[in-house]
Amino acid sequence: MPDHSAIDPFLLSRFRCPLCAATPLSQAGDELTCHGCGTRYPVSHGRPVLFRPDNDMFAADDYRRPPALPGDGGGKRGLARYVPEPSVNLAAHRVVPHLSTLLPGHAAILVVGAGGQRAWVDPMLGAAGRRIVYCDVDVRASVDLFCDGHDLPFVDGSFDAVVTTAVLEHVINPERVAAEIGRVVKLGGYLYSELPFMQQVHEGAYDFTRYTLSGHRRLFRNFEEVEAGMVAGPGTTLAWSIENFLLAFARAPRARLATKALARIGFSWLKRFDRMLVDRPEAMDGASCTYLLGRRSAVPLTNRSIVDRYVGAKHLSHT
For residues 82 and 42, state if they share a domain.
no
Please indicate, yes or no, if residue 3 is contained in any of the structural domains.
Answer: no
For residues 97 and 55, state if they share a domain.
no
Please indicate, yes or no, if residue 1 is contained in any of the structural domains.
Answer: no
For residues 51 and 156, state if they share a domain.
no
| DSSP annotation of 91 | S
Does the pLDDT value for residue 74 go beyond 80? no
**pLDDT classification of 99: cutoffs 50, 70, 90:** very high
Does the pLDDT value for residue 110 go beyond 60? yes
**pLDDT classification of 4: cutoffs 50, 70, 90:** low
Q: Which residue range is the domain that position 59 belongs to? A: 9-63
For residues 231 and 288, state if they share a domain.
yes
Peptide bond just before 300 cis, omega within 30 deg: no
Q: How confident is the model at residue 2, as a pLDDT?
A: 52
For residues 271 and 124, state if they share a domain.
yes
β-partners of residue 194 are 165, 291
pTM of the predicted protein model? 0.94
**pLDDT classification of 77: cutoffs 50, 70, 90:** low
Please indicate, yes or no, if residue 22 is contained in any of the structural domains.
Answer: yes
Cα 286 from Cα 196, distance rounded (Å) = 11
Computed over every residue of the chain, the mean pLDDT equals 94
Q: How confident is the model at residue 82, as a pLDDT?
A: 87
For residue 46, what is the domain's CATH number? 2.20.25
Does the pLDDT value for residue 239 go beyond 70? yes
Please indicate, yes or no, if residue 168 is contained in any of the structural domains.
Answer: yes
β-partners of residue 40 are 33
Does the pLDDT value for residue 75 go beyond 60? no
Please indicate, yes or no, if residue 250 is contained in any of the structural domains.
Answer: yes
Q: How confident is the model at residue 149, as a pLDDT?
A: 98
Please indicate, yes or no, if residue 71 is contained in any of the structural domains.
Answer: no
**pLDDT classification of 127: cutoffs 50, 70, 90:** confident
**pLDDT classification of 68: cutoffs 50, 70, 90:** low
Does the pLDDT value for residue 316 go beyond 90? no
Number of domains, the chain: 2
Tell me the mean pLDDT in the region 203-208.
95
For residues 36 and 140, state if they share a domain.
no
Cα 152 from Cα 148, distance rounded (Å) = 6
pLDDT digits (tens, 9 = 90+) for 250-261: 999 999 999 999
Does the pLDDT value for residue 242 go beyond 70? yes
Does the pLDDT value for residue 66 go beyond 80? no
For residues 193 and 291, state if they share a domain.
yes
For residues 216 and 295, state if they share a domain.
yes
Cα 247 from Cα 6, distance rounded (Å) = 48
**pLDDT classification of 64: cutoffs 50, 70, 90:** confident
For residue 127, what is the domain's CATH number? 3.40.50.150
When mean pLDDT is compared across 86-95, 113-122, 265-274, 306-315, the lowest value belongs to 306-315
For residues 114 and 260, state if they share a domain.
yes
Please indicate, yes or no, if residue 41 is contained in any of the structural domains.
Answer: yes
Tell me the mean pLDDT in the region 226-249.
98
Cα 11 from Cα 118, distance rounded (Å) = 17
For residues 90 and 19, state if they share a domain.
no
Strand extents, DSSP E, the chain: 25-28, 31-34, 40-44, 47-50, 108-112, 131-136, 145-147, 159-165, 185-196, 223-232, 289-296
**pLDDT classification of 73: cutoffs 50, 70, 90:** very low
Q: How confident is the model at residue 140, as a pLDDT?
A: 93
Rounded to 5°, the CA angle 190-200-63 comes to: 65
Q: How confident is the model at residue 250, as a pLDDT?
A: 97
From residue 181, alpha-carbon distances to 115, 250, 263 in Å are: 17, 39, 37
For residues 206 and 161, state if they share a domain.
yes
Does the pLDDT value for residue 1 go beyond 70? no
Q: Would you say 124 and 118 are in contact if contact means Cβ atoms under 8 Å apart?
A: no
Cα 257 from Cα 218, distance rounded (Å) = 37
Cα 234 from Cα 277, distance rounded (Å) = 8
Residues whose CB falls within 8 Å of the CB of residue 274, separated by 6 or more in sequence, listed in order: 88, 90, 230, 232, 233, 234, 235, 236, 283
For residues 255 and 111, state if they share a domain.
yes
Please indicate, yes or no, if residue 225 is contained in any of the structural domains.
Answer: yes
Cα 150 from Cα 181, distance rounded (Å) = 9
